[in-house]
Amino acid sequence: MAKFLKIEGFAPVSATNGQEALKYLRGGGEAAVILLDLRMPVMDGWAFRAAQRSDPAIADIPVIVLSGVESPTLQQQLAAAATFQKPASFADVMKKVRELVAV
């Protein structure tokens, strides 16, 4: 996904797990949108999202969930801007990213 985001003119920052992403964000790293996988080692997407939502400095960064987890209430449970079932359509994800960045 990062490769395609670069092609589209974005400057993605990748993290291998939620803990790494939190360290980046809490260390002053910037993000206009977070693309979140729920299944990651060390700290999964559920734990990341809970930590993010409880930190006022980063709580308002919108999250797009990309996951193989099937749940009709996933978007609501995670208060996500959008959820996409893997394999997700890159065009659909990019449409949502552009919408969120434009806000």
CATH assignment of the domain containing 82: 3.40.50.2300
CA–CA dist 43, 88 (Å, integer)? 22
Position 96 in a domain:
yes
Burial class (CB in 10 A: 0-12, 13-18, 19+), 101: exposed
State which residues form the domain around 63: 27-102
Number of domains in the chain: 1
**Residue 95 pLDDT level (bands cut at 50, 70, 90):** very high
Q: What are phi and psi of 34, to 5 degrees?
A: -115, 125
Six token digits for residue 4: 């395609």
Per residue in 25-40, pLDDT (tens digit) is 999 999 999 998 887 7
Residue-level pLDDT at 50:
92
CA–CA dist 58, 39 (Å, integer)? 21
Residue-level pLDDT at 85:
83
pLDDT for 53 beyond 70? yes
Mean pLDDT of 17-26: 93
Instruction: Decide if 34 contacts 56 (C-beta within 8 A).
Output: no
What is the pTM for the complete model shown?
0.86
pLDDT for 14 beyond 60? yes
Six token digits for residue 11: 């400057």
Q: List the beta bridge partners of residue 63.
A: 34
